[in-house]
Structure formats: structure tokens, C-alpha cells
């Protein structure tokens, strides 16, 4: 029996592989780095966030981004290049950064996020990883920031997502073991967090237990007969017979998807993270620091600090000024820490796969009966991983998903072009 081939071993790929294997299908996962030690999935902030129902393309984002570009240590940068795909993506993002896109997307993002959270609880029982269900604090140091987040909290309430606007005293009640320098914030009690390395290891073990296999390599092409993919071709030229394929390669998905005639307008949104092994204080809740867009997550005895969004190619180099911006923001919000705590720590950089409308690409590859796509989740790759995997398993079984996730919504090209 030929296998369902999953291209990519990050959250989307492994969750797809797990749910496919649970459905009784033979699965093979192919990744250039099957250990995933340095992947975006392995070193991200580890947050499961029903609170993130507003897509990346939203009102005010472009204007704020342009202001931040004037500050070398800000949480956002854009690196212009002579790249037609980059400028097309920018144009499409600008066209979608409006109220209509938010209104069209927020209900679906809410539904997907809450379903995914429920699946995380099931997976925690099935696979044995720890899931911290304590919520997330959106911390603010300015009146403007607190006002903006209070409006988000009101919108969350309209959508049935739990959100509580908090003053400093309430913040101390929620997390008394850590000193926070914040004017106020919002507690999203349904959000969760986990140790990303532990979750990935549990997923891999679960796939293997169900008979799934892992293979190191890179898929570069396909062999097609009619409306079916019959073989995947690796970088060495070996042709692998397949029952079907799922493209889940994160920021590197567009190149391989193009071989199936799909145009996936995506850009890698580069982010950085540190992992503090012996933090001066350990928060009980994960948090987002509004003014600097920094994520803070307790992971066992360690503390992960992550941030920035840099658009402009798939370059993984580190911008030291923006890295310092992450450190400075963190220390302003958590005054028990000094910048010296970050000296000598390894710096990780990774690419979030960002679509121009802020919605993932999950669905069938148009024109094929046995090819699916699971990518473009931006900062929600972990959060939407389980529901994405379940949708892929449903698609392979003949089901359908919401058309707003259609991988072909921005157009198609000639297969193999």
C-alpha cells in the first residue's frame, strides 16, 4: 500500500500525519531536518490562543508598521528586495488590512481556535504531554495600549471568547509569583501554553506508534497522471510512489506547491527567541507585552522570550538591534530581570509562513483529487495545528473545509511552472 506523504515535519505536518494515521492511513513524513531541533515549530512561543481571532491583515497594521520601520529596535521591519513575489504579497496584504477582512475572518478563526483547543486537551490525554490551561495575559504599559486591548476584549466577548480587563492588582492576583510593571492588561482565560519540544516529541512518538514513518530529505517535484499525484520526486531524483500528498512545509511551501499549479503568496515572517534556563522569576501564565510585541512563556523550569516580525525573504540572519529591542521590552515589563541575563544565550531565528490575508491555506490542491495543503498559519501554527491536522484527514477521506481557507483563493499557475 502506497503511503500518504506529508511534506514538512512542523506542527501542521505532524498534526496532519497523526490524524491521518489515526484514520488508518499509512503515513510517511518527509522533512529536511526530521529532528526539528532548529525549526520554527520547535523554538516558538508555545501559545495556544483563541484570543487571536483578529487576522494579521487588520486595520491600522500597515500604518503602525511604517512607523516602526523608522525605529531600528522596533518589533517590525521590512527589507525591500527586487522580488516580484514580495511586492505582490505587500499589495495583497495592503488590500486585506481592513475592517471587512476582520469581519469576514474572525468568526472562522474563533471556531478553528476553540476546536483546536479542545483537540489539544484530547491530545494531551492521548500522547502524554503537559498542557497548561491558565490563560494568557496581554500586558500594557500605556493608556493607548490598554484602550486598544480593552476594545479587543469587548470584541472577544461578542464572539463568546472569555476576556477580562485587569488593573495592576488583578494582574498580581492572577500571577503573584512574578513582578510585573504594567498599567493593566487583559486576561484571556481560555488560552493555554505548552513546551514545544515536548509536544513535538509526543506527536512524533504518536505518529510512529500508529505505524507512521519519518524520512530525511527534500521533495522537489511530482509525477502526475490525470488528476492524481502518483509519485513524489526527491532531491536525489528518487521517485516515491504515493497514495496522496500533503504540502505542509511552512515558509518553504510555495516552491513545492507551484509544482502542483498552486500560487501560494506567502512571506516568511522572521522571529527570534531566547530560552532562559534559570530565570530570576518564573511566571505561571504566558503573556504578550503589548508595546513591544514580545511573547513570554514558562516552559518547565525555563522561560522562553520571543519577538519581532521581519518581512523580506527567507533569510535567517539575526538583526542585533531588533534582538536588543526584545530584551529591553522584556526587562521593562519584568523588572526582576536584567539585560545581562541574556548574555551568552543561544539566539534562535525562524520563519512564520504568512499569507496576505492572515488566514491559513488548508484545502485540496485545485485540479487534484489526492493532494492537499496545510500551511500559511503565520503566528498560529501551533495554535491551529490540531484542527488543521483533523481537517486534512477529513479532506483525504472525501470531506470539505471552509472556502475561506482555499489554497487557490489567490489564483493558480500551470502545474510544474
* pLDDT at residue 256 is higher than 60: yes
> In terms of residue numbers, what domain contains 191?
3-405
Find the mean pLDDT for residues 149-160. Answer: 97
Split into its structural domains, the chain has a count of: 1
Q: 40 pLDDT exceeds 80?
A: no
pLDDT of res. 313: 76
Chain mean pLDDT for the chain? 94
pLDDT of residue 412: 67
What's the pTM value of the predicted model, to 2 decimals?
0.96
User: Please, which residues bridge with residue 314 across strands?
Assistant: none
Backbone angles phi, psi at 40, to 5 degrees: -60, -35
pLDDT at site 411: 79
Instruction: Say how far apart CA 232 and CA 8 lie, in whole Å.
Output: 13
Dist CA 120 CA 31 (whole Å): 23
- Between CA 32 and CA 78, with CA 265 as vertex, the angle to 5 degrees is 90
How are beta strands 27-31 and 371-375 bridged, if at all? unpaired
Does residue 46 have a pLDDT over 90? yes
Express each pLDDT in 48-103 by its tens digit: 999 999 999 999 998 888 888 878 888 888 888 888 999 999 999 999 999 999 99
Q: Which of 13, 45, 24, 40 is nearest to 326 (CA)?
A: 45
* Residue-level pLDDT at 119: 98
Predicted local distance difference test score (pLDDT) of residue 68: 84
3-state secondary structure the chain: CCEEEEECCCHHHHHHHHHHHHCCCCEEEEECCCCCCCCCCCCCCCEECCCCCCCCCCCCHHHHHHHHCCCCCCCEEECCCCCHHHHHHHHHHHHHCCHHHHHHHHHHHHHHHHHHHHHHHHHHHHHCCCCECCCEEEEECCHHHHHHHHHHHHHHHHCCCCCEEECHHHHHHHCCCCCCCCCEEEEECCCEECCHHHHHHHHHHHHHHCCCEEEECCEEEEEEECCEEEEEEECCCCEEEEEEEEECCHHHHHHHHHCCCECCCCEEEEEEEEEECCCCCCCCCEEEEHHHCEEEEEECCEEEEEEEEEECCCCCCCCHHHHHHHHHHHHHHCCCCCHHHHCCCCCEEEEEEECCCCCCEEEECCCCCCEEEEECEHHHCCCCHHHHHHHHHHHHCCCCCCHHHCCCCCCECCCCC
What are 42's three cell numbers? 520547535
Question: Taking residues 156-174, what's their average pLDDT?
Answer: 98
Q: What is residue 328's predicted lDDT score, i.e. its pLDDT?
A: 96
Is there a domain that residue 12 lies in? yes
Query: For residue 33, what pLDDT is reported?
Result: 77
Q: Could you tell me the CATH number of the domain that includes residue 217?
A: 3.50.50.60
Whether 413 is covered by a domain: the verdict is: no
pLDDT at residue 405 in the model? 98
Report pLDDT for 337: 97
Instruction: Look at residue 135 and tell me whether its pLDDT is greater than 70.
Output: yes
Task: Label residue 312 exposed, middle or buried (CB < 10 Å: 0-12, 13-18, 19+).
Answer: middle
Q: Is residue 302 part of a domain?
A: yes
Is residue 416 in a domain? no
* Model confidence band, residue 325 (pLDDT cutoffs 50, 70, 90): very high
Q: Is the pLDDT of residue 37 over 70?
A: no
Whether 410 maps to a domain, the answer reads no
pLDDT at 417 over 50: no
**Residue 411 placed within a domain:** no
Pairing label, strands 76-78, 228-234: unpaired
- pLDDT, residue 413, reads 57
Provide the greatest CA pair distance for the chain: 65
The residues that bridge with 219 in the sheet, in sequence order, are: 234
**121 contacts: CB under 8 Å, gap ≥ 6:** 131, 133
Q: Which pLDDT does position 73 carry in this prediction?
A: 84
Q: Is residue 417 domain-resident?
A: no
| pLDDT at residue 261 tops 70 | yes
Start-to-end CA span in the chain (Å): 30
Would you say residue 67 lies in a domain?
yes
Grid cell digits, residue 139: 500586558
Nearest residue to 218 (alpha-carbon basis) of 3, 8, 361? 8
Report the pLDDT value the prediction gives residue 416, as an integer from 0 to 100.
45
pLDDT in tens, 374-404: 999 999 999 999 999 999 999 999 999 999 9
Residue 311 sits at φ, ψ, to 5 deg, of -105, 135
Residue 1 has pLDDT above 70, yes or no: no
Amino acid at each position: 500500500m502506497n503511503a500518504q506523504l506529508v511534506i514538512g515535519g512542523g506542527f501542521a505536518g505532524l498534526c496532519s500525519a497523526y490524524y491521518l494515521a489515526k484514520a488508518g492511513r499509512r503515513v510517511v513524513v518527509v522533512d529536511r531536518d526530521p529532528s526539528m531541533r532548529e525549526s520554527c515549530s520547535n523554538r516558538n512561543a508555545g501559545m495556544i490562543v483563541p484570543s487571536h481571532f483578529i487576522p494579521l491583515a487588520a486595520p491600522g497594521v500597515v500604518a503602525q508598521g511604517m512607523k516602526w520601520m523608522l525605529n531600528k529596535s522596533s518589533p517590525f521591519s521590512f527589507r525591500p528586495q527586487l522580488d516580484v513575489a514580495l511586492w505582490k504579497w505587500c499589495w495583497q496584504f495592503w488590500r486585506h488590512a481592513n475592517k471587512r477582512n476582520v469581519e469576514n475572518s474572525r468568526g472562522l478563526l474563533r471556531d478553528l481556535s476553540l476546536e483546536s483547543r479542545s483537540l489539544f486537551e484530547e491530545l494531551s490525554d492521548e500522547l502524554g504531554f503537559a498542557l497548561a490551561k491558565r490563560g494568557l495575559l496581554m500586558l500594557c504599559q500605556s493608556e493607548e495600549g490598554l484602550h486598544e486591548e480593552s476594545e479587543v476584549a469587548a470584541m472577544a466577548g461578542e464572539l463568546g471568547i472569555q476576556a477580562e480587563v485587569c488593573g495592576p492588582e488583578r494582574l498580581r492576583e492572577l500571577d503573584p509569583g512574578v513582578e510585573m510593571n504594567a498599567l493593566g492588561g487583559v486576561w484571556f482565560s481560555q488560552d493555554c501554553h505548552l513546551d514545544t519540544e515536548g509536544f513535538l516529541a509526543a506527536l512524533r512518538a504518536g505518529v510512529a506508534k500508529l505505524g507512521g514513518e519519518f524520512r530525511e530529505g527534500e521533495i522537489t517535484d511530482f509525477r502526475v497522471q490525470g488528476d492524481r499525484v502518483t509519485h513524489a520526486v526527491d532531491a536525489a531524483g528518487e521517485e516515491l510512489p504515493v497514495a496522496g500528498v500533503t504540502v505542509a512545509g511552512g515558509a518553504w511551501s510555495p516552491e513545492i506547491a507551484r509544482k502542483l499549479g498552486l500560487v501560494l503568496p506567502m512571506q516568511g515572517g522572521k522571529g527570534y527567541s531566547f530560552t532562559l534556563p534559570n530565570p530570576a522569576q518564573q511566571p505561571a501564565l504566558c503573556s504578550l507585552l503589548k508595546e513591544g510585541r514580545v511573547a513570554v512563556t514558562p516552559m518547565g523550569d525555563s522561560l522562553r522570550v520571543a519577538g519581532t516580525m521581519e518581512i523580506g525573504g527567507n533569510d535567517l540572519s539575526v538583526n542585533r538591534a531588533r534582538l536588543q529591542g526584545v530584551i529591553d521590552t522584556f526587562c521593562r515589563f519584568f523588572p526582576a530581570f536584567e539585560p545581562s541575563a541574556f548574555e551568552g544565550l543561544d539566539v534562535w531565528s525562524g520563519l512564520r509562513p504568512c499569507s496576505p490575508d492572515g488566514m491559513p491555506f488548508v484545502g485540496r490542491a485545485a485540479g487534484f483529487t489526492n493532494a492537499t495543503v496545510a500551511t500559511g498559519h503565520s503566528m498560529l501554527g501551533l495554535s491551529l495545528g490540531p484542527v488543521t491536522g483533523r481537517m486534512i484527514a477529513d479532506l483525504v477521506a472525501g470531506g470539505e473545509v471552509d472556502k475561506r481557507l482555499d489554497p487557490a483563493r489567490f489564483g493558480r499557475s500551470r502545474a510544474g511552472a
